[in-house]
Structure 1
Amino acid sequence: MNAITIQPSRMPIPPAVAKEFEIAPAEWRVLVDQIFPSAKSVEAVMMALAYCRKRNLDIFKKPVHIVPMWSSAKKQMVETVWPGIAEIRTTASRTGEYAGIDAVEFGPMIERSFSGQTGGNNTDTITKKVRFPEYASVVVYRIVAGQKCAYHAKVFWEETYASIGKSEVPNDMWAKRPRGQLDKCVEAAALRKAFPEELGNTYAAEEMEGRTLDGAVIEHAAAPQPPRPPVPPSAKTPAPVETIDAETGEILDEREIVTETGEATDAIVDEPIDDNTFFERLEEALAVVSDLATVEEIWTDFDPLARFEGKPAAEINQSIAMAIRKRAEKRIGGGNGKA
């Protein structure tokens, strides 16, 4: 019987990688030549393998993508790994609470010409005319406390499209499939709203194309981690002490001093806590209540919606807080799924 010879792939597999991920030469060739044909390094494929192993995903179904991004720190393009829309759908489906999605609605069509220098030495100028929908919106559904709840998202094409290099010119995919690409992005945004505990800031590869690392607040789409245990009650912020006016001897309000300009400022500045600690304290406080009235009181005291209003990722963080409340209501056996 004649032995079958497997032709080497364009990027030979290092023995250590083959052993670590239990990848046969033929499987590696499929990965680098068919699944990730644009990958330029073994390290990028290794990152994809590590992500899929951590998330228990079949890499041969291509749940993740290798996306080249400009790193302002390294002053060069780097390869990064981000989940595709299929992986985000899978994560939502695994909860057992995903209840479907409406048809995506698109805004009016806009035609615009884009020009820019796309060469490495800024000498190549290109002009491209693109016709695209102004926006896309969609509603996804989740079963919360036995009720079907709707989560709406709306994204704009000009705020989302991927460009060529550092120019403003849309890449070929976004120019040829403006609706298709925007469809994936708005679905990912809606699923993040509906499933904040599972998805958090997990952006889809389609959303990350053309973005810059380090230049904006971009969180890497790492595998979601389980929440840390709640902090004990003793770790809560202590109550403020009395503040006395040095000139009049008058006891001032514990929380507020009015300055000479008439502006109000905190008399006692609590040590700021990060968002994760805030969520832990909210969940710890709600974990011991036994009636909906107390849930409402604690929610009012923490006031999560006001805390995140107007800040980056406000809607995501507000959704996480609301999900914590809904879990408490579900445990008690009441609530209507609304925050």
Structure 2
Amino acid sequence: MVDFEWYRSFIAIYKHNSVTEAAKTRIMTQPAMSQHLASLEARVGEQLFTRTARKLVPTERGKQLYSHLAPHIESLEEKTMDLNLHLSPTMKMIKIGSTQELFKEKVMPHLSRLDLNTITYFGDADRLLELLKEDCLDIIITTKKFSTPGIEYVRLMEESFVVVAPFETIVPDFKHLKDIELWLSKQKWISYGLELPIIRTYWKEFFKRGPIINPVHVIPSFHLILKAIEADAGMSLLPTYILKHQNVMKPRWKMLYEHMIVHKEILIGFKSKHKHLLVINEFIKSVCEKNEMNRDLIFIQSHNALRQSAIE
């Protein structure tokens, strides 16, 4: 495979008729420049220059190669200079890692007032951590806090999860947690993952043990889980921020046991050595939301009132 740098060195030598002068313009050593030329000539299978005492004279093959390459190389270098101009140090850029759902709900609403350019990568928590460790990302937005040396976290917000079921679900009026657990265990469940990540947290919070549930569907997307619930495919635990923008006047789902809410922190992770970087602090300041739990409680109360009025 031809190294692109061989072409750039060849063009420089052609213009200066000298390896030494070409090396100076490319800020390279003379041996490195000579190696580039030798490698390209070996690849082409012919000499590209005739060596004289004072300069290098291009061969016919060298002239032909130059006429083909020069316009493309010069165009690429112009584009590179233009890119460098537009991505100058005065332009602030931040690389974000997140799930699509968290990005849509918790970052996108703030983009218009961010004084930053952003590049976003989507993935699960484990993959995002690896990208952060490799310096491919500046920050990650995650619900998992890893005990990794050199990685720090700050709290972005607290998300609240509630049981959501198809609208026509008939819920018995149980008085005891044991009866609620038994009934819930017999329902069709849709899970975000095979390990029942949120469901397991819910069960341990309220029933003090792990769930005995085999999900009928595993769908790694809260938005799609809600669609499945609306299609009467089962029930699940969903974050309330997924529900806030839905049409409550024509409900196709409903929340169950609204007094039984489980909370989970959403965190912003970054490398400790970058904790004082301006772009990271500006991003955190822009997207961090306060009193999220209170807003969730208000949402649940207002949703119930609207739903009741719609039914009546």
The normalised TM-score by structure 2 is 0.19
**Structure ID, larger Rg:** 2
- Larger helix percent: 2
